[in-house]
Amino acid sequence: LSLLFVPRPKARGMEISMKFRRATAIVLSLAMAFSLTACGGTEKAQGTASAESSESQASGEVQEKAEENIPTLTLFVDETWWPYDKWEGAVPEEFERRLGVKVEVTRAADDNQLALMVASGDMPDIICSYRYQYLADSQVCYPLDELHEEYPEIPFEVDPAYQFVNKAPDGHYYTIGCGFSPEYEYKKYDKILSEGPGFMYREDIAEELGLKFETLDDLDTAFEKVQQAYPDITVCAFSCIHKFNWLMQQMGLKNGGYYEAEDGTLKWWLRQEKLLDFYKKVNEWYRKGYLTAENFAYQSEDETKELCVSGGAFANFSYDAHADIYSSSIAANGDSFRLTLVTDELSDDCASYDTGCGGRGLYITRSCENVEAAYRLLAYAYGEEGMKLLMWGIEGEDYSLDSEGYPVFNYDFQGADSLLKPRGLKYWGWLVHNAIVTSIAEVNAGSQTATDKMNLTAHVVRNPVIGMIRFETDSEEANINAKLDEMVKNQQTNIFMADSEEACEAAFNEMLQQAEDIGMGILEEYGNKSYPELKKQYAEIIAEAEK
């Protein structure tokens, strides 16, 4: 990748500088001659220091002029939770050095900020957002395929599969959504880690009571024994974000959106056959007192974390990395117990559905004042070197590669923000990373999180074509989808907390009826209009790449 070079000073500036230096040399010569006759060597040293000072000052002026010619690009990150609000630290600064740019970052203050920017037309140079529908528009942003033609001298090769899955309705593609890699990229690596939800428990109590977790039925046995032995602690907590997704995964269930039925058509996730069994199991745990009513009211994941770190819960449904993260906090508190992650899959039905074709991405807006510089930034950031720099750090300082090409970190890749932030590690990589850069990152970690991810990989079912079915902003389908999400959010609490199995089933059937009334069938009809042809085209692209 060509770098942005700083222009040399103009000729007139150089002429003035030379005259200044010649005049300075004459004055210094006279002064030195006088000092030699008067005071000897001390004054000679002072004259030499003065000359060096003048040259240093002139050099500093040239450096300042050079810095003035470095382009500054403004970047808006459309994530209110983003842990960094400045482009600073050794890693992002190295990124700037390699490209010859400066980056100024603004983090979203609320979820409405992007919409207001787009509506007003007053946007920064580059936007990072997951809201494809706002930005994949030629009146809002530059299509990358057109910029490829405009700047052919800038290397920016994009795999046909990435182009296809990011294609907008107008036939252009405007970004490369992060977190996606085609299947043939995974096949290049023997070790792949797939992240997902997790289930953890207190190791000390499990050893004391002789508990094991080899089947899903073992959860019922363990919960009952813990309740009897420790009536004053919560038997099982759950994250308000991830809820019981681990159980759904073990049962082979999808937790949202479309799924492909046996006949090849798309159906909405609420129609899955075993979904009622899932709700009945959670409801059973609630009715037996293993789950608390208070937990269903939690609005922050920190509330569950506090309960687990304090030792107030035996088990917890959350995310795979949280067992290690919470255990670090427990150790920091000086407590001796530890949270153990269930790293083996407990059911033959286990399935982890990956239907994503890319999440947040970088877009060059029509407000951009230096499109070429912005394009160079995207070209480098989406390249392998740029992705690894932003995600892993500086090779030789933050990590090294083993004999198989997998990274070995000298810091905790899953460490707290306070550890990562000073160097600007990892999170800037989340702007642009593909699936591989994250999937091989912790192969050498040796942690229970890494073991869990390694075991889950064999159960992943990938279908990025489903992710290509997007609802246009403010369309009927988008409104139906939003209403369905809100309805399920409210109604499933009634299902989980029903006072009997019969009431649980009745509440589930009521949810299905509400989904029909809202328009679940309309979404299925919409998806099936384009799915067969998209699936065919994607299969052809993959087949061509694998030749």
SS (H, E, C) 248-295: HHHCCCCCCCEEECCCCCEEEHHHCCCHHHHHHHHHHHHHCCCCCCHH
pLDDT in tens, 355-409: 999 999 999 999 999 999 999 999 999 999 999 999 999 999 999 999 999 999 9
| Whether residue 295 is found in the same domain as residue 386 | no
Residue length of the chain: 547
Give 124's contacts (C-beta < 8 A, 6+ positions apart).
Answer: 74, 75, 76, 106, 117, 365, 367
The last residue of one of the domains, among 412, 431, 460, is 460
Which tokens in the block code for residue 135? Answer: 């930005």
Placement of tokens 């499990």 in the chain: 206
| Whether residue 84 is found in the same domain as residue 159 | yes
Quick one: pLDDT band at residue 64, thresholds 50, 70, 90?
A: low
Helix, strand, coil % (nearest 5) of the chain?
50, 10, 35
The contacts found for 268-276 with CB under 8 angstroms, 24 or more apart, are 268/484, 268/515, 268/520, 268/523, 268/524, 270/488, 270/511, 270/512, 270/515, 270/520, 274/349, 275/508, 276/505, 276/508
Placement of tokens 């369905």 in the chain: 484
Residue 233 CA to residue 364 CA, distance in Å, equals 52
| Whether residue 202 is found in the same domain as residue 315 | yes
CA quadruple 476, 481, 487, 492: dihedral, nearest 10: 160
CATH of the domain at 516: 3.40.190.10
| Whether residue 208 is found in the same domain as residue 295 | yes
Amino acid at 186: Y
Please classify residue 97 by burial: count the beta carbons closer than 10 Å to its beta carbon, then call 0-12 exposed, 13-18 middle and 19+ buried: exposed
> Does 247 map to a domain?
yes
Phi, psi of 421 (to 5 degrees): -60, -45
pLDDT given for residue 60 in this prediction: 54
| Whether residue 234 is found in the same domain as residue 279 | yes
| Whether residue 158 is found in the same domain as residue 226 | no
Nearest Cα to Cα of residue 539 among 465, 467, 469, 435: 465
Identify whether the C-beta of residue 425 lies closer than 8 Å to the C-beta of residue 417: no
Placement of tokens 């090409």 in the chain: 405
Give 412's contacts (C-beta < 8 A, 6+ positions apart).
Answer: 419
pLDDT given for residue 350 in this prediction: 97
Q: Is residue 54 over pLDDT 90?
A: no
Which tokens in the block code for residue 91? Answer: 């890693």
Quick one: pLDDT band at residue 69, thresholds 50, 70, 90?
A: confident
> Does 325 map to a domain?
no
Nearest Cα to Cα of residue 128 among 429, 439, 445: 429
What is the residue range of 301's domain? 197-319+471-545
The last residue of one of the domains, among 427, 460, 493, is 460
Mean pLDDT of the chain: 89
Nearest Cα to Cα of residue 431 among 498, 386, 369: 386
pLDDT in tens, 408-454: 999 988 777 888 999 999 999 999 999 999 999 999 998 999 999 99
| Whether residue 227 is found in the same domain as residue 144 | no
Domains contained in the chain, number:
3
Query: Which of 58-72, 206-220, 515-529 shows the lowest mean pLDDT across its residues?
Result: 58-72
pLDDT in tens, 195-206: 999 999 999 999
Nearest Cα to Cα of residue 23 among 44, 54, 59: 54
Q: Which residues of 291-326 are buried (b: 16+ CB within 10 A; e: fewer)?
A: bbeebeebeeeeebbebbbebebbbbbbbbbbbbbb
pLDDT given for residue 56 in this prediction: 54
Phi, psi of 92 (to 5 degrees): -60, -30
Nearest Cα to Cα of residue 131 among 122, 141, 121: 141
pLDDT given for residue 5 in this prediction: 33
Nearest Cα to Cα of residue 238 among 454, 18, 493, 502: 493
Q: What angle do CA 70, 76, 78 make, to 5 degrees?
A: 160
The last residue of one of the domains, among 460, 488, 523, is 460
Nearest Cα to Cα of residue 257 among 495, 484, 530, 518: 484
Identify whether the C-beta of residue 408 lies closer than 8 Å to the C-beta of residue 445: no
pLDDT in tens, 242-298: 999 999 999 999 999 999 999 999 999 999 999 999 999 999 999 999 999 999 999
> Does 337 map to a domain?
no
| Whether residue 97 is found in the same domain as residue 160 | yes
Nearest Cα to Cα of residue 423 among 105, 106, 127, 83: 83
Residue 501 CA to residue 5 CA, distance in Å, equals 70
Residue 237 CA to residue 296 CA, distance in Å, equals 10
> Does 303 map to a domain?
yes
> Does 429 map to a domain?
yes
Residue 78 CA to residue 81 CA, distance in Å, equals 9
**Containing H/E element for 496?**
helix 476-496
Query: If you ran DSSP here, which 8-state letter would residue 104 be given?
Result: E
> Does 208 map to a domain?
yes
Nearest Cα to Cα of residue 313 among 239, 243, 237: 237
Placement of tokens 């019969």 in the chain: 502
| Whether residue 56 is found in the same domain as residue 98 | no
